[in-house]
Amino acid sequence: MQEVLPIMVFQTDFTYKEGAVAAMYGAVRSVSRDVEIVTATHEIPQYDIWSASYRLQQYVQFWPKGTVFVSVVDPGVGTSRKACVALTNDGYYIVTPDNGALTHIKAKHGIKEVREIDESINRLKQTEGTSVFHGRDLFGYCGARLASGIITYEQVGNEYSVDDIVTLDISTPEGSEGYLKGIIEIDDPNFGNCWSNIPVAEMFENGFSYGDDVAITVTKDGKKLYDQITRFGKTFGDVKKGEAILYNNELMNVSLALSQGSFMEQYKVYFGPEYIIEIRKVK
């Protein structure tokens, strides 16, 4: 029987413009030759903890149980914010500053246990004089020790209450027959799409069907950015190139797109709790 290599998956806001990723991965490889190192992305928008949180729940569940995710979006590096490793209810490890980056994972997967990284043990020794690169010195290093089995989860450090995990405000969509209200929760910046927090299942429960033309408004601080009858379609091919569509995205939430265009740019819709989307049946 071949041994299964433990997996580490990294997301940061470091970019590849300099040598930080290479230094972090080197520290990991120096801990263990027997872990797989995978790049999720190093292009999380700078200091954007909300995006770090959302992206984790976009992909964690597609990986094998036991995978160790290291997320480093850390504007408070070196301050009193906790460095932690969370264990989700479904068996994934998340190594991250406890600064809100666990918000979506806590809400969608649930967190079973969380431990504060003990820096006296689980920190790279050769760089102790510096406090600005915990991706390399703490999160990468500790994650590698955990993934490779050098330490157990208990040896990460002391447990603290899951209730004490820092979370950002997360909004819940409202629905009734023929009506849904939610927020644009995140963007798909490459393709210019706007992902809402409204599950497609709630569309069906409230009387909507694929092929319906529905009335959609998107407002920001009360100002209408988008107000049109829009096709609720199954694929981008259901509308002509350049037309808007409400579709079921890869996470099973309804989302707004322009077929082969950028809805975001066209209507100046970005994301966050201030971007309200309302969907109504057309009589």
> Between residue 107 and residue 146, which ones bind a copy of itself under the rule CB under 8 A?
127, 129-133, 136
Which parts of the chain fold into alpha helices (H)?
20-31, 49-59, 103-108, 134, 140-147, 200-205, 263-267
We find the least distance from the C-beta atom of residue 222 to a copy of itself, in angstroms, to be 28
Site track for a copy of itself across 23-62, x = CB under 8 A = xxxxx-xx--xx--xxxxxxx--xx-------xx-xxxxx
Distances (CA, A) of 218 to 156, 194, 247: 45, 11, 15
For a copy of itself, which is the closer residue by CB, 33 or 283? 33
- Cβ atoms of 208 and 194 closer than 8 Å: no
Query: Cα(9)–Cα(147) distance, rounded to whole angstroms?
Result: 11
The stretch near a copy of itself (CB under 8 A) out of 154-162, 168-176, 229-237, 270-278 is: 229-237
- Is residue 211 near a copy of itself by the rule CB under 8 A? no
> From the CB of 154, what's the least distance to a copy of itself, in Å?
26
Q: Among 1, 2, 161, 222, which residue sits at the site for a copy of itself (rule: CB under 8 A)?
A: 2
First to last CA, the chain: 63
Residue 37 or residue 162: which is nearer to a copy of itself going by CB? Answer: 37
Radius of gyration of the chain (CA): 21
> What interhelical angle do 20-31 and 140-147 show, nearest 10?
30
Please pick, from the candidates 142, 173, 187, 230, the single residue that binds a copy of itself as defined by CB under 8 A.
187
92 or 267: whose CB is closer to a copy of itself?
Answer: 92
Site string for a copy of itself, 231-270 (x = CB under 8 A): ---xxxx---------xxxxxx-------x----------
> In this structure, what DSSP letter does residue 260 have?
T
**Residues 158-177 interacting with a copy of itself (rule: CB under 8 A):** none
> Smallest distance, Å, CB 39 to a copy of itself?
8
User: What residues contact 77, with CB distance under 8 A and at least 6 apart?
Assistant: 97, 131, 132, 133, 134
The yes or no reply on residue 22 touching a copy of itself (CB under 8 A) is yes
- In contact, 76 and 99? CB cutoff 8 Å: yes
**Stretch binding a copy of itself (CB under 8 A), from 97-105, 106-114, 187-195, 271-279:** 187-195
Shortest Å, Cβ 115 to a copy of itself: 23
Beta bridge partners, 64, equal: none
Q: Which is nearer to a copy of itself, 65 or 224 (CB)?
A: 65
Q: Which of residues 65-84 bind a copy of itself (CB under 8 A)?
A: 67, 75-80
Contact call for residue 227 and a copy of itself (CB under 8 A): no
| Closer residue to a copy of itself, CB minimum distance, 219 or 266 | 266
Instruction: Return the number of the residue (16 or 153) whose C-beta is nearest a copy of itself.
Output: 16
**Under DSSP, is residue 115 helix (H, G, I), strand (E, B) or coil?**
strand
Residue among 5, 9, 4 nearest 143 (CA): 9
Angstrom distances, CA of residue 69 to CA of 11, 96, 227: 8, 8, 40
Residue 31, SS3 per DSSP: helix
